[in-house]
Structure formats: C-alpha cells, structure tokens
C-alpha cells in the first residue's frame, strides 16, 4: 500500500473501525492530487476507502471477506497478452488504465 502512494503523500492514523466483521485501522491520506480515507486490516486488506481527486469522488466498502487458498490459474498471464513499453518520461495518467488521472 505505502509503495502505491504518490511522492509527497502523507498518511495519518485516524482511529479504528470494524467493517465486514473485521477490525481495520483508519488512515487519512493527503496528497497534492487529492485526499481520502482508507481502512486497512493488519495484513493490508482495504475494507473501506473514500476520496476525492480532481473534483471527482468515489468510495468502496467490503460487505463480506473470506480468506482462503486461491487457484494459481487466477494469476496466470491471459492468452494473447502483449506488454506495452511506454516512452521514458511519459506520465502514466496519460494512458487509460495505468493510474494517474
């Protein structure tokens, strides 16, 4: 999670909660691009999140969480996948689906 934060972003602990029957720690996130809150379990599962970026708001909340073994086939590269190499220095926000804006 922390490695996904943009440079200069700050996380401040803001208490705890129970979401979908699991305890999580609330964190307030502030960055140049926007701000929000996220509730993370001790093992890093995001149970609830909300925020605003560039004037647009969004949120999510887990209703049920089940831990268990996963079929390794779920993590295989799809047939026909072709990697894309972006030009050096191209901001990811300019390419749909790669984060940024």
- Asked whether residue 101 carries a pLDDT value surpassing 50, the answer given is no
Which pLDDT band holds residue 92 (cuts at 50, 70, 90)?
low
Q: What is the 3 state secondary structure string of 64-93?
A: CCCCCCCCHHHHCCCCCCCCCCCCCCCCHH
Domain boundaries along the sequence of the chain? 1-55
Give dist(CA 23, CA 91) in Å, integer: 36
Q: 1-43: per-residue pLDDT in tens?
A: 555 677 788 999 999 999 999 999 999 999 888 899 999 999 9
Please report the pLDDT score of residue 38 as a whole number. 94
Give dist(CA 63, CA 58) in Å, integer: 17
pTM equals: 0.67
């Amino acid at each position: 999670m922390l490695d996904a934060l943009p440079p200069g972003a700050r996380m401040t602990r803001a208490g705890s909660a129970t979401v979908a029957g699991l305890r999580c720690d609330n964190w307030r996130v502030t960055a140049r691009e926007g701000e929000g809150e996220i509730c993370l379990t001790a093992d890093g599962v995001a149970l609830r999140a909300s925020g605003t970026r560039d004037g647009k708001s969004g949120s999510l909340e887990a209703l049920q969480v089940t831990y268990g073994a996963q079929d390794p086939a779920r993590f295989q590269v799809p047939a026909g996948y072709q990697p894309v190499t972006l030009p050096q220095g191209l901001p990811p926000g300019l390419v749909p689906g790669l984060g940024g804006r």
